[in-house]
Amino acid sequence: MDGEKNYWEILGSQMLGMFKGMLSPMLGITAINSILFGVRGNLLKYYESPTILDHYMAGSAAGATQVVISCPSELAKIRMQMSGVGEKTDMRGYKGSLRTLKAIYRMEGMRGCYRGLIVTAVRDVPAFGFYFMTYEASRRVRKRNLRK
């Protein structure tokens, strides 16, 4: 019975560990969406009739800009999820995303807070370009179909 109880405790702690650090990205999504739609909207104002490619470029620029917020947010989430697993420092004592980011800043400086910036940008820049391009394309198709 003790072995079974221990098994379920370990399994439960591992499952809960997957949700560690989720507060930071959830709070950061507001800032990220503000940046995404603000940058995209302001860039599209410069075009009289933007093409699908213009929407891709504006979305990509917005994606590049939001990386400034999303990178530290995701870093804190990942560090909390991986706390104590193969790390040089033991992050188990930190509770919360902001505390984790403060600890990273204290130990590694500002550069440490942006660890993974390039990888995040390589993922997000084309992804947001494609997202806004497909949104605009589908919006145009729907608009055309409604006129018929």
Of all residues in the chain, what percent are helix, strand and coil, respectively (each to 5)?
Answer: 80, 0, 20
119 contacts 49 by C-beta, under 8 angstroms: no
Q: Which of 6-15, 19-28, 123-132 has the highest mean pLDDT?
A: 123-132
| pTM attached to this predicted model | 0.72
Q: Can you tell me the distance from the alpha carbon of 5 to that of 26, in angstroms, rounded to the nearest whole number?
A: 33
Predicted confidence band of residue 30 (pLDDT cuts 50, 70, 90): confident
Domain ranges of the chain: 21-147
What DSSP assignment string belongs to 60-102? HHHHHHHHHHHHHHHHHHHHHHTTTSS-SS--TT--SHHHHHH
CA atoms within 13 A of residue 138's CA, in its CB half-sphere: 6
Give the percent of the chain with pLDDT over 70: 75
pLDDT at 9: 61
Which structure tokens are listed for 118?
């390039």
pLDDT at 94: 60
Predicted confidence band of residue 27 (pLDDT cuts 50, 70, 90): confident
> What DSSP designation does 45 have?
T
80 contacts 21 by C-beta, under 8 angstroms: yes
- Asked whether the predicted pLDDT for residue 140 surpasses 90, the reply is yes
